[in-house]
Amino acid sequence: MLSSTREGFSITTLEAMACGLPVVTVDAPRNYAGGLMQDSVTGRMGAMDEKSIRNAIIDYVFNENSSKKMSDMCKKAANKYDRDSIAMTLERSYSR
C-alpha cells in the first residue's frame, strides 16, 4: 500500500510487483507510482480516503481469483524493468 500523493519513479512499487504483490496506491497528479501499475490489473488505484483504500485492500485479500491474476500480471509487468532489458534498450537508443 502506497498512500503517497507525490511519488517519483517508485522503486517500492516496482519491487512489490516483481514479488507478485499488487499495489494499492492513490490517484494524485504527482503520484507517478500509478504509471508503473495498471488499475485493476496489477493493483488498485483510488482516492486518498480511508474508504477507497480499505475497499482496495479488502478486494485483494478476499477475492482470490482476482488476486492470483493480479499477482501474475505484476510479475510480467515488472519484467519490463529488468536491468538487462533496460540496458539493451538504452544501448539501441544510443546507437541510433
Q: What's the domain range around 66? A: 6-95
CATH of the domain at 53: 3.40.50.2000
Counting residues of the chain whose pLDDT is more than 90, the rounded percentage is 34
pLDDT digits (tens, 9 = 90+) for 25-65: 888 888 888 888 899 999 998 888 899 989 988 988 898 88
pTM, rounded to two decimals: 0.77
Question: Which strand (E) or helix (H) includes residue 7?
Answer: strand 6-7
Residue 67 within any structural domain of the chain: yes
Residue 1 within any structural domain of the chain: no
Angstrom distance (rounded) from CA 78 to CA 27: 20
Overall number of domains in the chain:
1
